[in-house]
Structure 1
Amino acid sequence: MYNDFFGFKSSPFTIAPDPRFLFMSERHRDALAHLLYGIGSGGGFVMLTGEVGTGKTTVCRCLLEQLSSDVRLAYILNPKLDAIELMATMCDELGIQYEQGERSLKAFTDLLRDYLLKNHEQGLNTVLMIDEAQNLSVEVMEQIRLLTNLETNDKKLLQIILIGQPELQELLAKKELRQLAQRITARYHLRPLNLNETASYIGHRLRIAGLQRPLFKSSAIKRIHQASGGIPRLINVISDRALLGAFVEKKNTVTEPIVKRAIPEVLGDSHTAVNQASKNHKLVWFGVSFAILLTVAAYIVITQYPQSIKKETMVDSTAQPIQKALDDSRINNKLKNEPLTKSNDELAQEFWGDQSWDREGLRSARNLFALWGVSYYPYQASEPCDFALDYNLSCDDGTADWDYIKQLNRPLNLKFSTQESGSFWGTLKAIEGNKLVLQFGDHEVRMTQEKLNPLWQGEYRLFWKMPDGFIEHTKYGDTGPVVRWLTDAIYTIDNVDISPADRFSKKVEDWLMLFQMENGLVADGILGKHSVIMLNNNVVTNIPKLEKGSVMTQQGEQ
């Protein structure tokens, strides 16, 4: 309808998978590289996940185009099959003949084994690609795992690519699928486009459609990105409707008001895509909806568990009903009063019980965000570190020892591992005397540092609040708002008035070096993220901390 008006040769924002409009962002190229690496790594599983509309199909098309002639591919598009149907479909895809009505798993396994061995002798690779893999049942997943047992001394005979929505990660986190999860040799979660990539994506499709001039105002692109959450499919439908709106109004450019009118027309008034305008509403909703729960839970904890309330004054947004919380507390008291003589794997089983194991750290991220008063829903939002930026928080991850963890004095996520249970994440919420307060999914436990040591090799992740205008490695001679923030902190801590307040002078450098030395940091006089964390511990009162007596609040760090 609007093609002639704008001068398009074809519609730029159709959602049909037209290869002419293929846009490979850096994220898509990374995903493709992971899949190609997995295929060439000698077998096992490769996994690609991503939210609906992020471009998984685009990556798969590119992968198929780059497969060499020595690859034999079985591509399954409908995974809602039982084990027999799966094996039959594989045989159909690979051209393996079997008797009509065959219902024996052994018969299919023997046929596939012979086919795979024959391909191996001829120097051919066999690949099974399953799309929409989040719909696979646990039983079928286990059958797929058993197929990877077909191997020679140095190579798996079958390579398997699982492609699915984020729920696939939850499926593989189940305890009964831990053997399969440990066989994944390459995995990639395809995240939505950032703002710059969204602008490039829109510009790319406009150019392919035959338009060389700028058409969307930068403010309009920003609004599209916020409403779509960077998901290409949603970018397409919003942009298409915005072009229609501009056409109706006879305007040669797409402005932000046009986009704002287009968004509810295609996504509805209650759409769940990320947009800046709804963030404040979400925070207000969070506070109101949990106010009653906080009051009731605080009363229960104060009257029943007075020692616990001294440490924590905040209720996690993932809390279960009160009765379950009381039951868990009785279990934890038993753990607290009885010596732990379990092995590492038995201890890990005690943490998680029947819950899905947190292999990716997303549930732990949810629990950690809750301590900052932020509601995070894994698999419905962006990756934790990207999501944190919306609340002016940043990630810090790496390896450390207990002494340094205590110096940072922030709740954080820890990565644990055992020989049998594999790797998983948990949240260190607080330190009470010689006991660590940890949360694993919905379970809270208390234990000594020594008993946890065999499970933790030092890997951590935490959130911290960035000062306005923060630039990593701010140093002598620099100016700007972050320097003023630093001089304000110096005044608060030592009552030292530095002028000019926005210039990183020698006096500021000397003070910072002494502060770093006293807090166990590298005394280089350069303002980095760990120096900011330590400074905030001294000048901000309403941030979540580990040590007893710290103030914990839902307001976060101001």
Structure 2
Amino acid sequence: TSEKKLLQIILLGQPELRDMLAQTELRQLAQRITARYHLQSLNRVELGAYVSCRLAVAGRKPRLFSDKALNRLYKLSGGVPRLINLLSDRALLGAYASNSDQVEVEHIKRANYEILGESRSAWERFVFQYGYRVVGTALGITLFVGLGVWSKPFLDSITPFVDSSVNSVVEVTKSPEKTISHINEQKDEVDVDQSSALQTHALVLKPENGEQVYINDFEEALSSSPESLVAYVEAPNPDTRLLQQVMEKSAPKSAGSIPLAAVSVDLGGREKGKKDKLQAFQSLFESWNLNYVEEPFQLACEFAQVNGLACLHKQGNWRSLIRIDRPAVLTLFNNQGQKIHVALLKIEGDFALVEHSGEKFRTSLDDIDRYWLGEYSVIWQLPPYKSGIVTPGQLKEGAWLEKGLAEINPETKDLSLQEQVIEFQRSMGLVPDGIAGSLTLIQMNNLLETDAPKLLGNS
């Protein structure tokens, strides 16, 4: 029309389309293209994620391709999606035909042979795959031998100078008095430096007997740094009354343990680690007696589901976190505004046991609150009817809820199941919608004495 264009044209093609549009006679068309996007070949990491995504869309969440099979798939396809699809589809058919539970390297090789063919002889394939290595090795050996022959006259000419230098060194080391005293002076200086560094950075604990105990494991965490300007104002304040109530119910500390108030760690000075989120979830799974290892494309929440657990991601405050009463992964912001992930393992009084980047330490709730904007994730135990672990005689949803709610409050057993859920939710301060969601099931687990780690210990 006179105001706007009604037709949009999208050009799709192979890389040759780019060369065609670069021709001089098509410059007017090329100048009218407002956006360009080029799909490049996938790299190794993207290939693995691509295969996992395609399998997930088809309904397969656990891994189906081994690492070696993915490496071979990347080498043969070059990261081209069309070839990835062809080889993967054929390899899946080969794995099925051989009654294999996983796609291995042999299936990828066989799929490549069946799709692309292999007409060359064994000698031609050897030359094609390894010929450049043989030629490179031969050139390297020739160059090395040639340099040795060429440099021999030069080395012979400088030998007298080297011998005289060695003799002078031997003569100096024959008078040890000055050397030993000089070494002692250096040692004293090193001892002084180490002592001052220890007094500056080491953590000092003062027990009742008056002796000072130095702990050197927290030197990096105790380095001074300015307070966070990112999260100080926006961080939610803890509900001190609720904290006081729940802390009074906490189990007594074991005799001889170090008071938590004696330790102070500046969370704002913690640096962002490449794997701090992975390590935080590993620490959470350790509290469930599970070993979560780093495997490509295996998410923590998928690992939890395989073991009868589930993830809960929330935005809240201390009140909501303490009500759930499970160890959690907190998302904090350090002094540089970087997002870091720490595992909150236990709360005792006004202090907490925290792990970050594989290092456990104790810090105050106020310090956590300064850098925490309320984002956290917890692991909780699924009821049997939601769990992927099937056991003999397993109860269905209605039967399990009725049995658990009757055990918690026998007075409501004559009500309908929905009414029992609503009454339980009201008693726990939850939204009484009659739906047994995550928070409702977690509170039921808390009262049914399930074998789950608690954030407040044996409270």
The structure with the larger Rg is 2
TM-score, length of structure 1 as denominator length: 0.41
TM-score, length of structure 2 as denominator length: 0.48
